[in-house]
Amino acid sequence: MSEPFLIGDCMTGGYGNGPDILHGCTIAVDKGEIAVIVGPNGAGKSTAMKAVFGMLNVRDGSVRLDGEDITSLSPQNRVVKGMGFVPQTNNIFASMTVEENLEMGAFIRNDDIRQTMEQVYDLFPILRDKRNQPAGELSGGQRQQVAVGRALMTQPKVLMLDEPTAGVSPIVMDELFDRIIEVARTGIPILMVEQNARQALEIADKGYVLVQGANAHTGSGKDLLADPEVRRSFLGG
């Protein structure tokens, strides 16, 4: 089997010199896929994603993007390599307009960004209407769209979302999931951490259930939803 496009392989590590939070955890996403990381609170879901993005001290294991070892790269350099990351909180420039947010997302690019901006507006039509409004004045769901749009402006080869639906209403959550599927359809692999395990697994090609910083179950979204043990322990029966 060929290696996945992005893989955090057997990662062990923690923040700074603190204790290890991840213990031999493996996360991967392949082209055209949506991979979802779920698990109970404190399982290290976000930590695993941050490890893949280089915000963590990975003491053992490696992170590889398109076959290249990027374990020692800083998050900024990973962005240059083609990774887009949407943090869970503080993921927009609240005092700047929607359009300026997108412009800042494309800061590392020196070519014409207008076409990419049009693509983002096509993907999130509401942002086109609000392009000149400060992003901080938008609703929670719209802010998340700005955040995802900002990350898309670098034309990333893989997009990582840290709990994109945290703190939004169920209706907005469904809409956000639809949008995320649309982003995936444009060919960008998506790795995402989710609290709402059931909905997330429904749209996932691949799911990772983490428990205490280690892989507990891995499989396709459907398989995990059907797995009685996963259902009993994480999905409430």
Partner 1 sequence: MEFLNGFVALSNFVLVPAIAYGSQLALGALGVTLIYGILRFSNFAHGDTMAFGAMVTVLVTWAMQSIGISFGPLPTALLALPFGIAGAVLMVLMTDKMVYKFYREKKSKPVILVIVSMGVMFMMNGIVRVIIGPNEQQFRDGERFLIKAREFKNMTGLDEGLAIKSTQAITVVTAAIAVALLFWFLNKTRTGKSMRAYSDNEDLALLSGINPERVVAVTWIIVAALATIAGVLYGLDKSFKPFTYFQLLLPIFASAIVGGLGNPLGAIAGGFVVAFSEVMITYAWKKVLGYWLPDTLEPSGLVQLLSTDYKFAVSFMILIVVLLFRPTGLFKGKAY
- Distance of closest approach, residue 107 Cβ to partner 1, in angstroms: 5
- Asked if residue 8 binds partner 1 (CB under 8 A), the reply is no
**Position among 12, 47, 91, 142 found at the interface with partner 1 (CB under 8 A):** 91
How, if at all, do strands 206-211 and 34-38 pair?
parallel
Closer Cβ to partner 1, 108 or 181, answer by number: 108
- Asked if residue 85 binds partner 1 (CB under 8 A), the reply is yes
Looking from the CA of 235 toward its CB, the CA atoms found within 13 Å total: 18
- Asked if residue 80 binds partner 1 (CB under 8 A), the reply is yes
Task: Please say whether the beta carbons of 195 and 165 come within 8 A.
Answer: yes
Closer Cβ to partner 1, 32 or 107, answer by number: 107
159, two tokens: 């997009």
**Position among 92, 120, 138, 184 found at the interface with partner 1 (CB under 8 A):** 92
Q: What is the CA radius of gyration of the chain?
A: 17
For residues 115-154, which are near partner 1 according to CB under 8 A?
A: 150, 154
Q: Where are the beta strands (DSSP E) in 15-157?
A: 22-29, 34-38, 57-65, 68-69, 83-86
Beta bridge partners of 170: none
In the block, tokens 């800061």 appear at 107
Return all residues near 93 (Cβ < 8 A) that are at least 6 apart: 100, 101, 104, 135
Closer Cβ to partner 1, 47 or 154, answer by number: 154
**What track of x and - describes contact with partner 1 for positions 98 through 117 (by CB under 8 A)?**
--x--xxx-xx---------
- Residues forming contacts to partner 1 in the complex (CB under 8 A) are 75-76, 79-80, 85, 87, 90-96, 100, 103-105, 107-108, 150, 154
